[in-house]
Structure 1
Amino acid sequence: MSDIQYRELLPETRLGETADDSADQTPDPKLKTRLNKLQKRLRREMGRAIEDFNMIEEGDRVMVCLSGGKDSYTLLDILLNLQKSAPVSFELVAVNLDQKQPGFPEHILPEYLASVGVPFHIVERDTYSIVKSVVPEGKTTCGLCSRLRRGTLYGFADEIGANKIALGHHRDDILETFFLNMFYGGKLKSMPPKLVSDDGKNMVIRPLAYSREKDIAAYAGLKGFPIIPCNLCGSQENLQRQVIKEMLQGWDRSHPGRIETMFRSLQNVVPSHLADTGLFDFAGLQLGFPHGIVNGGAAGAQSGQGAIRRRVNGSTYCRSDGRDP
């Protein structure tokens, strides 16, 4: 990675020591109450996602990717909050990729990260020029830009010894990706809360997988995070994703609860009631056996008739009754 430069900044204070209490930042009592409720909700949802998918374990070094948007700020903030009372010990290292977009305010993230007391790196790579030289004028650059960004961050995680890479994708992103793949790609596929890269070298986690975008936006606003716009490159917004986003937002307004139900469906897949012959042995079904399955074994597990077993390791990030620890 010789074409990459980075600045490492290690604050003198310990991790999380200088982070301001959210209650001190919002003097209005009503706003303070709203902020506290949102923080508890986001913390509870993140704790549940971490436990359900075993995202963070003892001794992990987690690289938190910070773009300067509401999602990544919230991701880091809640992770820092959880770290203080988590049942396991883990490190957090914030990383921002400076892609050399014209007008990018280089001072904002270093100042913010130093103020909250988290070790961080600023990785510098001019992917902006690469994208502009390859993508025709007027076409969206998001696809190529994200691939270059992902490759750079994956490589940097290896350099700093991070065994987990935390991204700020939330529940709405996951659902939008599901419908994008179904409508335009012909696949039932989405963003998994936990993923190992194709080469097997990096593990990506999405601790905000259970959280709603509108909650994150409200929390970011109340916290006053110094948001950096994502359109500095002048690229057109991904129009297909925007159409899906508007569709989901319309359903959320007209049919409250539908979004929650759709997300639950991603966690309750029944392969025997779909049509993927590679996922379920339809050819082997026979009369005279429950559900047509001759041998219970693996085929029975694939049928989706049994409940999905969750991994339980004796450690919880949130109480079983849903309340914060």
Structure 2
Amino acid sequence: MTADTRIHADQVDAATNELDKKRKTRLNKLQKRLRREVGQAIEAFNMIEAGDKVMVCLSGGKDSYAMLDILLNLQKSAPVDFELVAVNLDQKQPGFPEHVLPEYLASIGVPYHIVERDTYSIVKEVVPEGKTTCALCSRLRRGTLYGFADEIGANKIALGHHRDDILETFFLNMFYGGKLKSMPPKLVSDDGKNMVIRPLAYAREKDIAEYAELKQFPIIPCNLCGSQENLQRQVIKEMLQGWDKTNPGRIETMFRALCNVVPSHLADTALFDFKSLQLGFPHGIADPAALAGFRAESDEESSSGNGGVQTMERIDILSL
């Protein structure tokens, strides 16, 4: 090796080491942020309690990989004992790499199940060519996962929806469904048998995407619905991303709004008793008990950071 070759090799090594150092620094920063946000969501909504068996649903996408990774990280230092079991629904999509998830889950030592259900054939048979498949696919997937949670005795079902998903769903329901409705961070199923939690509710999609890239998760693309063009959700996503670029902070403000609802200033008569409002009483409410629970000064109660999520002085599940 000549002197010039040796110098060049040393320069390459130095540059590689510098890039690796920056990557590790960025990864640690993102992990701390996601860990904090997941911990805050768990604390705020009492998502995980002592003795819980949490079924972590994995699709093979960036969100569910990140959710499992952060939950495993929190599990090590949490003040309460809870169990995590990873579950993937193999929907028998053509070309689905069945080996990827089992190999990954075995490598990190987490208990897991692969549930095989040919929902793909059902969706393709029922949904006309050219129509979006998401609605039927999600219903079939949800029903299968709910049933399997009962089989393995899991009392919580963790889904990888993040803050952006929650906002997108809100606008989808408002624009196309005529409802002010979104994905709550915690939900009991219609039949009362299953409790769904969304630990990534406070996390930003762009942070999750970068974290997944840095962690080099073995991402599996969805060939059934992910490749469909002109989905209503994709239109909403692009709208929000545009707002985020042109108006930094708007996404945080909108999420803060979802956490600070004032029913008396909307128009849902089932949610607020407008008919009984009377002059001579604060806010027109004659019943002191009703007044006690009325959030008339919601602006004062909101706080900054995490899109308006209240920051706790002490969050037990985090041992930072």
Q: TM-score range by the shorter chain?
A: 0.7 to 0.9
d(CA) in 1 for partners of 2:108, 2:129: 40
Aligned to 1:131: 123
What residue in structure 1 maps to residue 137 of structure 2?
A: 145
Counterpart of 1:118 in structure 2 is 110
1:294 to 2:286 alignment: yes
Q: Which structure 2 residues correspond to residues 78-117 of structure 1 after superposition, within 5 A?
A: 78-117=70-109
Deviation at 1:231, TM superposition (A): 2.0
Structure 1 residues 246 and 277, CA, compared in 2 at 3 Å: closer, same or farther?
same
Amino acid at match of 2:141: R
Aligned partner of 1:14 in structure 2 is none
Q: TM-score, normalised by structure 2?
A: 0.87
Q: What's the CA shift for 1:156?
A: 0.1
Equivalence for 1:317: 317
In 1, distance between residues paired with 2:222 and 2:167? 21
Letter in 1 for 2:228: Q
**Given the alignment, which residue of 230, 249, 256 partners 2:241?**
249
Distance in 1 separating the partners of 2:166 and 2:230: 15
> Whole-Å Cα distance in 2 between the matches of residues 218 and 128 of structure 1?
30
Tell me the equivalent position of 2:165: 173
| CA 1:238–1:174: 2 relative to 1, 3 Å | farther
1:104-161 CA-to-partner distances (Å, cap 9, x unmatched) read 0000000000000000000001001111111111111111011000000000000000
Choose which of 31, 41, 52 in structure 2 pairs with 1:60.
52
CA displacement 1:253-277 (0-9 Å, x = unmatched)? 0111110010011110001111111
The structure that is helix-richer by fraction is 2
Distance 2:54 2:296 in 1: 33
Contact 1:96 1:123 in 2 (8 A): yes
Partner secondary structure for residue 222 of structure 2: coil
Q: Distance in 1 between matches of 2:163 and 2:215?
A: 21
Paired residues, number? 292
Note the 1:199-214 alignment, pairs <5 A.
Answer: 199-214=191-206
AA aligned to 2:75 is Q
Residue 161 of structure 1 pairs with residue 161 of structure 2: no
TM-score norm. by structure 1 comes to 0.86
Provide the C-alpha distance between the structure 1 equivalents of 2:71 and 2:47, rounded to a whole number of angstroms: 12
SS of equivalent residue, structure 2 residue 88:
strand
- Displacement of 1:232 after TM fit? 4.6
SS at match of 2:241: helix
1:122 maps to a residue whose letter is: I
Q: Report how far residue 296 of structure 1 moved.
A: 2.1
Q: Identify which range, 108-117 or 290-299, moves more after superposition.
A: 290-299
Aligned to 1:188: 180
Give how far 1:233 is off: 6.3
Segments of 5+ residues of structure 1 without an aligned counterpart are 1-25, 319-323
3-state DSSP class of the match of 2:293? Answer: helix
Q: Give the C-alpha shift of residue 299 in structure 1.
A: 4.7
Tell me the CA shift for residue 58 of structure 1.
0.1
Report what 1:72 is aligned to: 64
User: 1:139 touches 1:235 (CA, 8 Å); kept in 2?
Assistant: no
Query: Given residue 31 of structure 2, which amino acid in structure 1 is its aligned partner?
Result: Q
Question: What is the letter of the counterpart of residue 276 of structure 1?
Answer: D
Counterpart in 1 of 2:259? Answer: 267
**What secondary structure is seen at the aligned counterpart in 2 of 1:283?**
helix
Change (3 A) 1:300 1:187: farther
Distance 1:83 1:202 in 2: 22
Question: Partners in 1 of 2:230 and 2:203 — Cα distance?
Answer: 22
Q: Between Structure 1 and Structure 2, whose CA radius of gyration is higher?
A: 2
Instruction: Quote the Cα distance in structure 1 between the aligned partners of 2:48 and 2:275.
Output: 40
Kept in 1, the 8 Å contact 2:89–2:141? The answer is yes
SS at match of 1:28: helix
Q: Deviations over 1:239-297 (max 9, x none)?
A: 11111101100110011111001001111000111111111111111111111111221
2:277 aligned partner? 285
In the alignment, structure 1 residue 236 sits paired with structure 2 residue 191: no
Q: Is the 8 A contact 1:281 1:299 kept in 2?
A: no
Q: Which residue of 1 aligns with 2:27?
A: 35
Greater mean alpha carbon deviation, residues 237-246 or residues 199-208: 237-246
Q: 2 CA distance for matches of 1:62 and 1:127? A: 24
